[in-house]
Chain A
Amino acid sequence: TQLLEQSPQFLSIQEGENLTVYCNSSSVFSSLQWYRQEPGEGPVLLVTVVTGGEVKKLKRLTFQFGDARKDSSLHITAAQPGDTGLYLCAGDPHSGYALNFGKGTSLLVTP
């Protein structure tokens, strides 16, 4: 199993602040996905990155895939309470049948 380490584990910020969360591995992935999960719900796919160095933007969210395809970051600008949730990264392994998930970053944005 290719391990994914996410940091920080918990993050509590106020509305309007910026933040970055990280997803790191010693393994190379074909692609990497980011999901957001709200309490009691399933993860919802936000983005897939496939090319080393790739940057994707989704409104106030910016996702970057590392040049070596071993790590990724998610930057949120001007966070809002609706951004609250568990952010999961998941890597597509070269072998095996399913994604490898990190433990997630739990984000709380207070008004």
Chain B
Amino acid sequence: ETGVTQTPRHLVMGMTNKKSLKCEQHLGHNAMYWYKQSAKKPLELMFVYSLEERVENNSVPSRFSPECPNSSHLFLHLHTLQPEDSALYLCASSQGMNGAKAFFGQGTRLTVV
């Protein structure tokens, strides 16, 4: 139990599908993040939410749409993805917005076919 739970763990979707990734944190943190991890690249920050308000969108294509209905839940809605979007998508949470001492979920391994 890491305190941050992501579902599903694995997802295969076609380029015309719509799917959503879910993240839930049980740590009482006030900031949540989506990261993308691709092979041979550093973790790439996608979105930051603080107190349910998006504070950063790191030049992410509009085919990725985040949603934060409350401080414990974060979603990433996916539509018309490309094969190059295949990656491990990681959710994290922290107390405070600078990401220090961020705790990560186990990730969703996404494959776009």
Q: Residues of A at under 8 Å CB distance from B? A: 4, 30-31, 33, 35, 40-45, 48, 88, 90, 92-93, 96-104
Which of B2, B99, B105 touches A99 (beta carbons < 8 Å)?
B99
Query: Nearest chain-B residue to A104 (Cβ)?
Result: B42
Jot down 26 A-B pairs with beta carbons below 8 A, ordered by A. Answer: A4-B42, A33-B100, A33-B101, A33-B102, A40-B106, A40-B109, A42-B90, A42-B92, A42-B104, A42-B106, A42-B107, A45-B102, A48-B101, A88-B43, A90-B43, A92-B100, A96-B98, A97-B31, A97-B48, A97-B55, A97-B97, A97-B99, A98-B45, A99-B100, A102-B42, A103-B40
Known: A88-B43, A98-B33, A98-B48. A43 touches B90 (CB 8 A): yes
Interface contact B105-A92, CB-CB below 8 Å: no
Residues of A within 8 A of B105 (CB): 42
In the complex, which residues of chain B have a beta carbon less than 8 angstroms from the beta carbon of A92? 98-100
Q: Contact check: which of A44, A48, A102, A104 meets B100 at CB < 8 Å?
A: A48
Instruction: Scan B33-58; emit 1 where CB is below 8 A from any A CB, else 0.
Output: 10000001111010010100001100
Taking the nearest CB of chain A, how far is it from the CB of B88, in angstroms?
8
Contact with A along B67-111 (1 / 0, CB 8 A): 000000000000000000000101010000111111111110100
Contact B101 A45 (CB under 8 A): yes
Across-interface contacts of A4 in B (CB, < 8 A): 42
- In angstroms, Cα B4 to Cα A97, docked, is 19
